[in-house]
């Protein structure tokens, strides 16, 4: 049975931490079980009032909050096609972006890289030395390492799907995002997982549908 961690911003969710005998329960999770699916909607939006949509033909790359360009890899193409199939299955009709669609859809790959400082001496001192000081003729002594600091970088990745209300775009040149789906976790950019990930987002959002 497929298991996934699902969070919705529109519901009140209580997360309970369960203790177990294992040292690191999260370390035993599969890539699939590590993924987090988050959806958020504008509760005032009535999806039945929209009939057509257009989806961007490339994927936006966002790196540390800045747009780094657009790409069309095999993953990107599969993702766009999977979203199109999901929208069509809910009754929407895809049109060209020049045909005044009711909805616009953007797909983004998001990367956030951070630099972290770690005190390496904390780790070394915790061992108390690899040899007993008695070996060197200093019984009762202990090891001490002076402070040594190191740096490492970590990158967090996610992908986001935004549905924009083009039908009611205001004269102030603002476009409202009426739905967002975000996925984080291991293996999210594998082409083998595209269909199941898109399906999970839409299964979590049954209100995305229209009546033709």
Over its length of 212 residues, how does the chain's per-residue pLDDT go in tens digits? 333 333 333 333 333 333 334 344 445 556 666 789 999 999 999 999 999 999 999 999 988 888 889 999 999 999 999 999 999 999 999 999 999 999 999 999 998 877 777 776 665 555 555 556 666 666 666 655 566 666 666 678 888 999 999 998 876 678 899 999 999 988 899 999 999 999 999 999 999 999 86
**Cα end-to-end distance, the chain, whole Å:** 35
Report the run of H or E that residue 86 belongs to, with start and end. Answer: helix 74-89
Contact 53, 83 (CB under 8 A): no
Check if CATH label 3.30.160.670 holds for domain 5-12+22-113+157-203: yes
Domain boundaries, the chain: 5-12+22-113+157-203
What confidence score (pLDDT) does residue 116 get? 72
């Amino acid at each position: 049975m497929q298991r996934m961690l699902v969070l919705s911003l529109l519901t009140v969710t209580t997360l309970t931490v369960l203790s177990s005998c294992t040292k690191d329960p999260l370390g035993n999770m599969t890539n699939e079980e590590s993924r987090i699916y988050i959806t958020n909607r504008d509760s005032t939006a009535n999806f039945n009032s929209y009939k057509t949509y257009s989806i961007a033909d490339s994927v936006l790359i966002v790196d540390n909050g800045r747009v780094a360009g657009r790409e069309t890899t095999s993953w990107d193409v599969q993702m766009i096609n999977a979203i199109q199939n999901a929208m069509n299955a809910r009754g929407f009709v895809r049109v060209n972006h020049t045909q005044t669609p009711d909805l616009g859809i953007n797909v983004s790959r998001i990367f956030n890289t951070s630099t972290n400082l770690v005190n390496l001496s904390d780790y070394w001192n915790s061992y108390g030395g690899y040899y007993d000081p008695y070996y060197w003729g200093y019984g009762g002594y202990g090891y001490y390492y002076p402070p040594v600091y190191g740096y490492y970088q970590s990158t967090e990745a996610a992908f986001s799907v935004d549905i924009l209300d083009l039908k009611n775009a205001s004269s102030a040149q603002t476009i409202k995002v009426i739905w967002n789906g975000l996925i984080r976790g291991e293996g999210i950019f594998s082409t083998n997982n595209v269909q199941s990930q898109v399906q999970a987002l839409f299964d979590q959002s049954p209100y995305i549908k229209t009546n033709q």
